[in-house]
Amino acid sequence: DATCAISGGRVSCWGAPWVQSEVFQKRRNVEAISVSFHACLVDAGVPVCWGQNQFGQATPPSLTGVTQIGVGGLHSCALHDGQVTCWGHGNPGQIDPQARFKSPNHLTVGSGHNCVWDENQVKCWGRARSFKDDAGEMAFSAETSGQTEPTETVSLFEYFQREQTAVLEVSD
């Protein structure tokens, strides 16, 4: 169990002993960070990871232009240059979405699935937990088969309007 925060481009982490690392201590331009059993941050558009790495989840490929990063239990994903790239271990389709996105943003990574906001829709792939059901409603199931094609779910606006839930985004 670990937590990290960014303030003024610098990172502070606390909790599990593994999270205390020289990897982040000298960095001054950190833009994003995500923590699970490993951690990844974005420093000047480049992903840097540390922690558990038995499946390569803390070994990012060579990427630039990264704007967001997310980590799941055994995998990581980055949003960069209008693309999503994932690495590590995952369920079928979890690491490499079978379709490309038009203008993805707002990446989120779960332990068995990933989602992006793309063209006014949430699109998810990996373990099918929050995909659209036959009636077009947001479905939550315990199904564990791989969803390799990113699947459109109900729009966030419709979902939050129906559920009367709000999203809070904090920025500097």
Burial 7-37 (b: 16+ CB within 10 A, else e): eeeebebeeeeebeeebbeebeebbbbbbbb
Give the pLDDT confidence of 89-143 residue by residue, as tens digits: 876 666 776 667 888 888 988 887 888 888 888 888 876 544 444 443 333 333 3
Burial 39-61 (b: 16+ CB within 10 A, else e): bbbbbeebbbbbbbeebebbebe
Average pLDDT, integer, range 3-9: 88
Q: What is the pTM of this model?
A: 0.73
60 pLDDT band, cuts 50/70/90, is very high
Tokens at residue 114, please?
Answer: 């990933």
Who wins on pLDDT, 84 or 91? Answer: 84
Strand partners, 17: none
User: H or E segment at 25?
Assistant: helix 22-25
Give the pLDDT confidence of 14-55 residue by residue, as tens digits: 888 877 777 777 788 899 999 988 999 999 999 999 999 999
Q: What is the pLDDT of residue 34?
A: 92
Q: What's the mean pLDDT when you consider all of the chain?
A: 75
Q: What is the pLDDT of residue 154?
A: 44
